[in-house]
Amino acid sequence: MDRAVHRAFRILETVTRAKEPMRLSTIASSLELQKSTVHRILQTLVAMGYVVQEPNGGRYRPTLRTWEMGSNVLHDHPVKRAAAPFLAELHRVTEETVSVMVLEGDDVIYLDKLIAPRPIRFTTRAGSRVPAPLTAGGQAMLALEPDARAVVERVARRLQAERAFDAETVLAALETVRARGYAVSRNNPDVVSVGAAILGRDGRAAGALSVSAPAERIDPARLEATVEAVRVICTRMAEFLGRL
Amino acid sequence: MDRAVHRAFRILETVTRAKEPMRLSTIASSLELQKSTVHRILQTLVAMGYVVQEPNGGRYRPTLRTWEMGSNVLHDHPVKRAAAPFLAELHRVTEETVSVMVLEGDDVIYLDKLIAPRPIRFTTRAGSRVPAPLTAGGQAMLALEPDARAVVERVARRLQAERAFDAETVLAALETVRARGYAVSRNNPDVVSVGAAILGRDGRAAGALSVSAPAERIDPARLEATVEAVRVICTRMAEFLGRL
DNA sequence: CCGCGCGTTCCGCGATACGGAACGATGTTT
DNA sequence: AAACATCGTTCCGTATCGCGGAACGCGCGG
């Protein structure tokens, strides 16, 4: 395992995660590396166009190069590609904010999103990573995972004290989700989310679709209609994927 | 300049650009590196979660990790952030496909796009890189660049024979663009694009907005209205950026 | 059954990344 | 104003770590 490569990616991750351009010393100390090492690697990243430095020995910030590379990956992603028309239809019939996501590790990653004309308050952007049990789509996928318990317990440990989250309660809820084939999440009091998994050929979830709407706009009848829309479209998408 | 780091990024670039998972040997030979070197670096990338390998010594493909990193960069990009409401308004008033882009080197990179209800034929996706002189927005930005000539000539060389492209014709057209403050492109016979630059504080272009529509839908009156919409909204966005 | 090409492993060599220390510039404190 | 702190950068001797040629095991097709 190349040490320099490992360090280079940690540095790039750090720089890209920061909201503002970072100082060399900050990077060095937060990664517990020597300034000279970080400097040399950053020069390499600058030479390759992944990072730019402000004039006169200033701070470092990432360029769009990283995004350009990443968007190639997304563009070729089978679930994201296949989901486009289904996501659009779900958007059309519900007229709410809809998302596609996939499970990665203990988290979901949002691949795409179509926002409602009247956007909801707390929205997660495409590309963001959220602990799976906190989202309707994530729960729908976890319900199909053999070792969902391990995931939920790890997440519980990670979120410990940061947020009210009881592993056993969530695991019990997952039973219901598995039985019904969809999940409803009200983590945020103002937002209701409905998610269902897109069944893959191996019986696991290839991904999930979800609909999120302001709580006040969702009466029981509307909720039922939304659940049906999500389920039907997920089923159709699963069939579509199966034919590939 | 760390050699291994440089190689690692070239390898990751190669893997992300490929439409399909790549074989180790293919990567090694296309980069003119030893198999053992590529193998070792790929193992590092796998360990870090940027690449996965198909089971049983199979091919390598990129994960969403790269995209996740990149989408952070995009999310914090000042032009992309600032453009969102202006792009939405341009979309609303024109009801066509609209894009934001920035100049990077000799190319434009599309940051975001809102597609029309009836999408146009040849569309470029967000994240893609296109030679600046080939797009209306790119031309609008080049018109403000001091050394636009150098850019156009490099692009002409790059596209040589691949496409009809005469540097002098384009440079003459840029004069008109500079004088009028907007560009109209009909590179593709079926699509008309109108672009204008978002003027930055330094007199150069911070970015550009453009509208693309099927040629048959654009009569002279509609074209004029579109030009006005793009110009007005670009001016307003420039003012907004100036106040930051 | 042999030969080919694949991904992987091994290993000795030496280039190269490493990190501590020093430097000049900048801006902050006393 | 002077002393100080901190920044990014440069230097350099050392040993580490990446390097690449060669060999291995495997699956496949001739």
| One-letter amino acid for residue A200 of the chain | G
Q: What is the pLDDT of residue A170?
A: 93
Q: How far apart are CA B85 and CA A27, in angstroms?
A: 34
Beta strands, E only, A49-95: 51-53, 60-62
For the range B62-67, what are the long-range contacts, defined as Cβ-Cβ under 8 Å and sequence gap of 24 or more? B62/A73, B62/B12, B62/B15, B62/B16, B63/A73, B63/A104, B64/A73, B64/A74, B64/A77, B64/A102, B64/A104, B64/A109, B64/A111, B66/A66, B66/A69, B66/A70, B66/A73, B66/B12, B66/B16, B67/A70, B67/A71, B67/A73, B67/A74, B67/A127
DSSP label of B63: -
Q: How far apart are CA B204 and CA B150, in angstroms?
A: 16
Q: What is the pLDDT of residue B144?
A: 97
Q: Which residues of B fall below an 8 Å CB-CB distance to A?
A: 1-2, 4-6, 8-9, 12-13, 16-17, 19, 40-41, 43-45, 47-48, 50, 62-64, 66-77, 102, 104, 109, 111, 125-129
Kindly determine whether residue A67 and residue B63, on different chains, have CB atoms separated by under 8 Å: no
Kindly determine whether residue A127 and residue B5, on different chains, have CB atoms separated by under 8 Å: no
| Domain B77-242 in the same topology as domain B3-68 | no
Q: How far apart are CA A59 and CA A62, in angstroms?
A: 10
Q: Tell me whether residue A69 is exposed, middle or buried, using C-beta atoms within 10 angstroms of its C-beta: 0 to 12, 13 to 18, 19 or more.
A: buried
In this structure, whether the domain defined by A77-242 belongs to CATH 3.30.450.40 is answered with: yes
Q: What is the pLDDT of residue A243?
A: 83
Q: List beta partners, residue B181.
A: none
For the range A167-173, what are the long-range contacts, defined as Cβ-Cβ under 8 Å and sequence gap of 24 or more? A170/A133, A170/A139, A173/A139
Backbone angles phi, psi at A184, to 5 degrees: -120, 130
Kindly determine whether residue B9 and residue A50, on different chains, have CB atoms separated by under 8 Å: yes
Measured CA distances, B67 to B7, B64, B132 (Å) = 20, 5, 24
Residue numbers of chain B with a pLDDT score lower than 70:
none
Which residues 59 to 78 of B reach strand C, CB within 7 A?
59
Q: Tell me whether residue A99 is exposed, middle or buried, using C-beta atoms within 10 angstroms of its C-beta: 0 to 12, 13 to 18, 19 or more.
A: buried
Q: What is the CA A37 to C1' C14 distance in angstroms?
A: 21
In the predicted structure, residue A31 carries a pLDDT above the cut 90: yes
Q: Which residues of B touch A6 (CB under 8 A)?
A: 44, 47-48
Q: What is the pLDDT of residue B56?
A: 83
Percent of chain A with pLDDT over 70: 100
Q: How far apart are CA A186 and CA B175, in angstroms?
A: 57
Q: From the Cβ of A116, is strand C under 7 Å away?
A: no
Q: What is the pLDDT of residue A58?
A: 86
SS3 for B39?
helix
Where residue A230 falls among pLDDT bands split at 50, 70, 90? very high
Q: From the Cβ of A2, is strand D under 7 Å away?
A: yes
Residue-wise pLDDT for A45-62, tens only, equals 999 999 999 988 789 999
Q: Which residues of A touch B39 (CB under 8 A)?
A: none
- CB atoms inside a 10 Å sphere around CB B188: 14
Query: CB under 8 Å to A64, separation ≥6 — which residues?
Result: B73, B74, B77, B102, B104, B109, B111
- Tell me the domain boundaries of chain A: 3-68, 77-242
Mean pLDDT over A102-131 rounds to 90
Closest alpha carbon to A48 in A2, A93, A11: A11
Kindly determine whether residue A40 and residue B2, on different chains, have CB atoms separated by under 8 Å: yes
- CB atoms inside a 10 Å sphere around CB B45: 27
- In terms of CATH architecture, what is B3-68? Orthogonal Bundle (1.10)
Structure tokens at B142: 């080049």
Q: Which chain D positions come under 7 Å from a protein C-beta? A: 6-12, 17-23
Residue-wise pLDDT for B39-69, tens only, equals 999 999 999 999 999 988 789 999 999 999 9
- CB atoms inside a 10 Å sphere around CB B68: 22
- A73 in Cβ contact with B63 (< 8 Å): yes
Q: What is the pLDDT of residue A123?
A: 82
Pairing of strands A191-199, A183-185: antiparallel
Q: From the Cβ of B58, is strand C under 7 Å away?
A: yes
Q: What is the pLDDT of residue A189?
A: 86
Q: What is the CA A24 to C1' C22 distance in angstroms?
A: 18
Q: From the Cβ of A3, is strand C under 7 Å away?
A: yes
- B193 in Cβ contact with B135 (< 8 Å): yes
Q: How far apart are CA A42 and CA A53, in angstroms?
A: 9
Q: Which residues of A touch B12 (CB under 8 A)?
A: 69
Pairing of strands B183-185, B191-199: antiparallel
Q: What is the pLDDT of residue A119?
A: 73
Q: What is the pLDDT of residue A234?
A: 98
Q: From the Cβ of A25, is strand C under 7 Å away?
A: no
Kindly determine whether residue B63 and residue A73, on different chains, have CB atoms separated by under 8 Å: yes
Q: What is the pLDDT of residue A244?
A: 73
Closest alpha carbon to A136 in A234, A222, A239: A234
Q: Tell me whether residue A216 is exposed, middle or buried, using C-beta atoms within 10 angstroms of its C-beta: 0 to 12, 13 to 18, 19 or more.
A: exposed
Q: Which chain C positions come under 7 Å from a protein C-beta? A: 5-10, 16-22
Q: What is the pLDDT of residue A45?
A: 97
Chain A contact probe: residue of B73, B91, B108, B113 with most A CBs at under 10 A: B73
